[in-house]
């Protein structure tokens, strides 16, 4: 068998050890101490208009402040949710609608690659990745065998990884400088790769053992090469050897959990294992894998690109027979019998239905003295900012937080001061807040926005009003 270094690096990056999927009623218990926090990042393409985030029940004075993008902090329990957010009505006490964050230090326009999670300008070149994205930084604070798992509804034209729907391709997160993550494009492939270490299928077991043996051989070989390599090459070879050894370590950890994991492997509906499926079914299948990967204890952080600008949307309610081009929708073109705004509404409502499924299932899962949801934060936000051709002046967020989350933002509509106004905050401030609250004392995460310097705004540090 001939295996190239590139093959092994890709395998190491996505993790060769199998992940476990949990059933709907049985959940893996933490090994010791308090349950870990879980973080789920769901991001969409084609922008997210700040105007659609606003509760329709604002008072006259609050509506006037909102129109001027002035600061607001309102009790969501006293307000009606926008119609597209109605699937989250049962979770309104856990919900935060967060407006006013800017991200002009990120890549804007159609696509941001890993900018919106990394707070730096990025493009399709690996060399543009400056550091680990915030989801990977959070994963370091709550270690797990697989560290991080990523899913995506990949675009077929334009945007990030393209040309594949069902494979494993470059994702939208980053493990570190010049280290893009890899994402699963289909529930079927995810199931095959993530469950194989606990499979009862003899053929799959043999394949998994072969993979472990290959990794062991490669890690030993590369370690020997690193020792003999000249100074200029030693670091590169050692980095590769370390990556292989990290993959082996993940494999060992998963193996140690196999007996506990095996009962939790779900039986996915056949439609989620198909090679061809609608976007809606692809999203639902990914949610099944996402939930199971989290609650099995094999990862505490998941990223999920629910759609991207170059993805052809299929299966949307009201457009079941249509292939919806999100780029065209971004330019105001209708699809089927729906206007562009109605298509946007249908897309957003579908996303909220996914989040409702995640939150509802986690709330039914006992953990410690409460539920798994108590120790979870879910983030929904636009990949590229406020609109189709974004400028980065606003990056709206929908957040669901369990009661053990370390921020005091639950049940609130928050509009931060407008871009350039005193007290304005950026994506960097937001992610610094998350990291500081959960154990990383970093002074500031991400690049600053040079455009804010002329306003004399201090861009450094956490948003103090959000901390417990």
Q: What is the CATH number of the domain that holds 396?
A: 3.40.720
Predicted confidence (pLDDT) at residue 47 exceeds the cutoff of 90: yes
pLDDT in tens, 77-92: 999 999 999 999 999 9
Q: Is the pLDDT of residue 68 over 60?
A: yes
Maximal CA-CA distance, the chain: 74
Q: How far apart are CA 52 and CA 183, in angstroms?
A: 30
402-439 confidence digits (pLDDT tens): 999 999 999 999 999 999 999 999 999 999 999 999 99
Q: How many CB atoms lie within 10 A of CB 278?
A: 16
Residue 337 lies in a domain: yes
pLDDT of residue 18: 31
Q: What pLDDT shows up at residue 175?
A: 94
Q: How many C-beta atoms lie closer than 10 Å to residue 313's C-beta?
A: 24
Segment 391-401 mean pLDDT: 97
Structure confidence at residue 203 (pLDDT) = 55
Confidence check: pLDDT of 25 > 50: no
Q: Answer whether residue 338 is part of any domain.
A: yes
Q: Which two tokens stand for residue 118?
A: 């990394």
DSSP state of 29: P
Read off the tokens for 4.
């190239």
The residue-averaged pLDDT of 245-258 equals 67
Total number of domains constituting the chain: 1
Q: What's the N-to-C CA distance of the chain in angstroms?
A: 55
* Bigger pLDDT: 231 vs 27: 231
Answer yes or no: is 263 within a domain. Answer: no
Mean per-residue pLDDT, 272-301? 91
pLDDT band at 124 (very low <50, low <70, confident <90, very high): confident
Mean pLDDT of 206-220: 48
What is residue 31's predicted lDDT score, i.e. its pLDDT?
42
pLDDT tens digits along 145-192: 889 999 999 987 665 556 578 888 889 999 999 999 999 999 988 878
Residues 6+ apart with CB under 8 A from 140: 132, 147, 440
Spatial neighbors of 318 by CB under 8 A, at least 6 apart, are 336, 337, 338, 342, 346
pTM strictly above 0.85: yes
Nearest alpha carbon to residue 455 among 420, 414, 425: 420
Query: Is 392 inside any structural domain?
Result: yes
Could you tell me if residue 1 is inside a domain? no
Whether 99 is in a domain gets the answer yes
Q: Is pLDDT above 60 for 15?
A: no
Instruction: Let me know if residue 97 belongs to a domain.
Output: yes
**Residue entry with tokens 């069902």:** 166
Average pLDDT of every residue of the chain: 84
Contacts 24+ apart (CB under 8 A), 53-60: 53/82, 53/97, 53/99, 53/396, 53/398, 54/82, 54/99, 54/413, 55/79, 55/80, 55/81, 55/82, 55/97, 55/413, 56/80, 56/82
Q: Is 261 within a domain?
A: no
Mean pLDDT of 306-313: 90
CB 433 within 8 A of CB 443: no
Half-sphere exposure in the Cβ direction for 24 (13 Å, CA): 7
Whether residue 379 is predicted with pLDDT greater than 50 in this model: the reply is yes
Strands 38-44 and 376-382, how do they pair?
A: parallel
- 125 versus 378: the higher-pLDDT residue is 378
Range of the domain at 182: 38-194+271-466
What is the band of 22 on the pLDDT scale with cuts at 50, 70, 90?
A: very low
The region that residue 122 occupies, defined by phi over 0 for left and psi between -120 and 50 for alpha, beta otherwise, is beta
Nearest partner of 294 among 194, 196, 382, judged by Cα: 194
Inter-axis angle of helices 5-14 and 202-228, to 10 degrees? 120
Angstrom CA distances, 282 to 252, 369, 416, stand at 30, 34, 35
Q: Which of 49, 350, 305 is nearest to 185 (CA)?
A: 305
User: What local confidence, expressed as pLDDT, does residue 215 receive?
Assistant: 41
Q: What is the mean pLDDT of residues 216-231?
A: 56
């Amino acid at each position: 068998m001939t295996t190239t270094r590139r093959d092994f690096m890709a395998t190491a990056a996505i993790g060769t050890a199998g992940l476990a999927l949990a059933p709907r009623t049985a959940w893996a218990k933490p090994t010791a101490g308090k349950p870990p926090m879980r973080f789920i990042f769901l991001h969409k393409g084609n922008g997210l208009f700040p105007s659609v985030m606003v509760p329709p029940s604002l008072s006259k004075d609050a509506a006037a402040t909102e129109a001027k993008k002035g600061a607001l902090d309102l009790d969501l329990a006293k307000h009606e949710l926008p119609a597209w957010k109605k699937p989250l009505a049962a979770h309104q006490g856990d919900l935060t609608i967060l407006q006013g964050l800017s991200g002009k230090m990120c890549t804007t326009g159609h696509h941001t690659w890993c900018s919106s999670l990394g707070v730096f300008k990025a493009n399709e070149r690996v060399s543009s990745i400056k550091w680990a994205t915030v989801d990977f930084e959070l994963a370091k604070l709550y270690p797990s065998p697989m560290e991080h798992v990523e899913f995506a509804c990949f675009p077929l034209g334009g945007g990030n990884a393209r040309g594949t729907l069902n494979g494993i391709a470059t994702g939208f997160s980053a493990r570190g400088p010049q280290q893009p993550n890899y994402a699963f494009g289909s529930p079927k492939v995810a199931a095959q790769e993530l469950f194989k270490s606990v499979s009862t299928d003899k053929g799959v077991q043999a394949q998994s053992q072969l993979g472990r043996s290959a990794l062991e051989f490669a890690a030993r070989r590369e370690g020997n090469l690193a020792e003999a390599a000249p100074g200029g090459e030693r670091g590169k070879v050692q980095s590769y050897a370390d990556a292989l050894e990290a993959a082996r370590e993940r494999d060992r950890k998963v193996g140690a959990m196999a007996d506990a994991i095996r009962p939790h492997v779900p039986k996915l509906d056949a439609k989620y294992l198909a090679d061809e499926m609608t976007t809606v079914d692809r999203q639902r299948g990914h949610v099944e894998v996402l939930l199971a990967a989290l609650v099995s204890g094999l990862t505490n952080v998941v990223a999920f690109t629910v759609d991207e600008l170059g993805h052809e949307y299929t299966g949307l309610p009201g457009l079941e027979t249509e292939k919806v081009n999100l780029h065209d929708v971004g330019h105001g073109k209708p699809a089927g019998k729906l206007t562009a705004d109605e298509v946007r509404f249908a897309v957003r409502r579908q996303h909220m239905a996914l989040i409702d499924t995640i939150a509802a299932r986690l709330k039914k899962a006992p953990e410690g003295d409460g539920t798994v949801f108590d120790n979870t934060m879910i983030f929904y936000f636009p990949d590229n900012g406020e609109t189709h051709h974004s400028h980065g002046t606003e990056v709206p967020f929908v957040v669901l937080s369990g009661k053990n989350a370390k921020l005091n933002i639950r049940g609130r509509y928050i509009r931060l001061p407008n871009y350039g106004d005193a007290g304005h905050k950026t994506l960097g401030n937001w992610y610094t807040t998350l990291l500081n609250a959960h154990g990383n004392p970093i002074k500031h995460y991400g690049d600053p926005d040079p455009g804010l310097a002329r306003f004399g705004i201090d861009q450094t540090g956490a948003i103090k009003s959000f901390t417990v």
